[in-house]
A = this chain, B = another copy of it.
Amino acid sequence: MTDKNQRFENYDCSQGCPVEAALELIGGKWKGVILFHLMEGTQRFGELKKQVGTVTQRMLTKQLRELETDGLVSRKVFAVVPPHVEYSLTPKGETLRPIIMPCAIGAQNTP
């Protein structure tokens, strides 16, 4: 980000604008949906997979790792057998709620 207090009007996006930055965080094919479901509360890997639907294990893992790296999702591993892993939103991830939820509402209101 070049200037954090810059106004949006006449914003020069030539090399990286805020929207571009945001889409890098949630632009992955499944990330929006994953975040959406984590907003319902903490979820285990399997639960998440079931809810997201057609996502493959590989992709779910990959996107979750990226979300984790970006600090939007936290991963909690329980050292038990069988494995137990819980995913939840970080505070930073929570800040996306006003973005994700209007997305959902917007999509519903304009079919």
Contact = CB atoms under 8 A, between A and B. Distances in A.
A105 interface: yes
A14 B110 contact: no
B98 A51 contact: no
Contact of A104 (B15, B18, B107): B18
Taking each of A8, A23, A25, A111, which has the highest tally of chain B beta carbons within 10 Å of its own beta carbon?
A23
Nearest to A41: B9
Contacts of A53: 13-15
Contacts of A33: 13, 17, 19-20, 23
A97 to B, nearest CB: 10
A98 B100 CA distance: 11
Contacts of A79: none
Contacts of A26: 23
Interface of A: 1, 4, 8-15, 17-23, 25-27, 29, 32-33, 35-37, 40, 51-54, 92, 95-96, 98-111
